[in-house]
């Protein structure tokens, strides 16, 4: 791959993204059989978390160790990135110890800085701006379930957040119909929407009407209404987002069989009802599993440069 780091989906071209998806398919089969796959023997991965995590932490650590390497978990109170020490100093120190860095940070500019000064690959494990590993996983999961990626309709319901920005980046590379249905004051970043529209690859829409937006949807996707770092706004957001809840009535109004997706963690009976989460058409746990396989593929590809 041309890029040393994995920071945004749109840093890669369509062929490179397909290579990741194809590789994920083959490493998924190997992992499920627990085949030996010592790709990272004697290698190490530092995992820096400034925010909480279940899936990202466990999937990266499990994947890297399955491939023969050692993964180090560095939680919010461990290294104090950008507080105890400058970000660029962490980049240079870890570049001497490790073979790869995965980081979950608040400000997006901080992951750009970490990568700029690092001589080893840096993977974005979520920032306030985007979550590329998640959306690569999501499109892989859609591919598994629908056998197709192109020309499907994906309706995202809720806050125009980091998840939406990565969907928009993907829409600059693969052609599909993406609708972000959100309250007017919670739209995604204007520049990112413009770039996705101007790329001329996908049909991008911003809507504020849930029942109109979901017509003919192949997938309805949602995420928490208050992201990490915004939890003190949870109560006030609850009122604004109420009509954007994914419930059975909304799922029934698409006019076709529609899959439900969620990046997790879910706050049941807020952005999605318990019933929808537990339904046969919910593929949220397939998504969660696939984080492991997509990230393994991304790490292998980055190591092969």
Among all residues, which ones are annotated catalytic?
A: 263
Residue with tokens 């995420």: 223
Residue 223 binds which one of ligand CP, ligand NVA, none, with CB within 5 to 8 A depending on kind?
ligand NVA
Q: How many CB atoms lie within 10 A of CB 242?
A: 11
- If one asks whether residue 58 binds ligand NVA (CB under 6 A), the answer comes out as no
Residue 61 binds which one of ligand NVA, ligand CP, none, with CB within 5 to 8 A depending on kind?
none
- If one asks whether residue 93 binds ligand CP (CB under 6 A), the answer comes out as no
**What is the nearest approach in angstroms of ligand NVA to the Cβ of residue 64?**
20
**Sites for ligand NVA among residues 149-188 (CB under 6 A):** 161-163
Residue 54 binds which one of ligand CP, ligand NVA, none, with CB within 5 to 8 A depending on kind?
ligand CP
Residue 161 binds which one of ligand CP, ligand NVA, none, with CB within 5 to 8 A depending on kind?
ligand NVA
Question: Which of 105, 111, 263, 299 touches ligand CP (CB under 6 A)?
Answer: 263
Pick 126 or 155: Cβ nearer ligand CP: 126
Q: How far apart are CA 125 and CA 6, in angstroms?
A: 9
**Sites for ligand NVA among residues 121-140 (CB under 6 A):** 126
Question: Which of 122, 133, 155, 263 touches ligand NVA (CB under 6 A)?
Answer: 263
Pick 112 or 266: Cβ nearer ligand NVA: 266
Pick 126 or 226: Cβ nearer ligand CP: 126
- If one asks whether residue 223 binds ligand NVA (CB under 6 A), the answer comes out as yes
Residue 149 binds which one of ligand CP, ligand NVA, none, with CB within 5 to 8 A depending on kind?
none
Q: How far apart are CA 297 and CA 64, in angstroms?
A: 11
**What is the nearest approach in angstroms of ligand NVA to the Cβ of residue 56?**
8
Question: Which of 29, 54, 86, 234 touches ligand CP (CB under 6 A)?
Answer: 54
Q: Alpha carbon of 227 to those of 45, 224, 265: distances in Å?
A: 26, 6, 10
- 264, 290 in Cβ contact below 8 A? no
- If one asks whether residue 183 binds ligand CP (CB under 6 A), the answer comes out as no
Interaction site with ligand NVA (CB under 6 A): 126, 161-163, 223-224, 227-228, 263
């Amino acid at each position: 791959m041309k890029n040393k780091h994995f920071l945004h989906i749109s840093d890669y071209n369509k062929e490179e993204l397909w290579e990741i998806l194809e590789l994920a398919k083959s490493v998924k089969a190997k992992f499920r059989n627990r085949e030996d796959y010592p790709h990272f023997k004697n290698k190490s991965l530092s995992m820096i978390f400034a925010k909480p995590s279940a899936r990202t932490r466990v999937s990266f650590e499990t994947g890297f160790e399955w491939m023969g390497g050692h993964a180090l978990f560095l939680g919010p109170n461990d290294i104090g990135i950008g507080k105890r020490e400058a970000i660029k100093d962490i980049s240079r120190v870890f570049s001497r110890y490790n073979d790869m860095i995965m980081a979950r940070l608040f400000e997006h500019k901080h992951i750009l800085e970490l990568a700029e000064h690092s001589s080893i690959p840096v993977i974005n494990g979520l920032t306030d701006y985007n979550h590329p590993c998640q959306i690569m996983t999501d499109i892989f999961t859609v591919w598994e379930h629908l056998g197709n990626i192109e020309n499907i309709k994906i309706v995202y319901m809720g806050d125009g957040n980091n998840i939406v920005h990565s969907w928009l980046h993907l829409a600059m590379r693969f052609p599909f119909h993406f609708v972000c249905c959100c309250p007017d004051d919670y739209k995604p970043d204007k520049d990112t929407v413009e770039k996705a529209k101007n790329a001329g690859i996908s049909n991008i829409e911003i809507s504020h009407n849930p029942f109109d937006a979901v017509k003919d949807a192949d997938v309805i996707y949602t995420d928490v209404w208050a992201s990490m770092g915004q939890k003190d706004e949870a109560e006030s957001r609850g009122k604004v987002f109420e009509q954007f809840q994914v419930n059975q009535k909304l799922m029934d109004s698409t006019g076709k069989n529609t899959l439900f997706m969620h990046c997790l963690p879910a706050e049941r009976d807020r952005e999605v009802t318990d019933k929808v989460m537990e339904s046969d058409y919910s593929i949220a746990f397939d998504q969660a599993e696939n984080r492991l396989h997509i990230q393994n593929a991304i790490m292998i590809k980055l190591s092969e440069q």
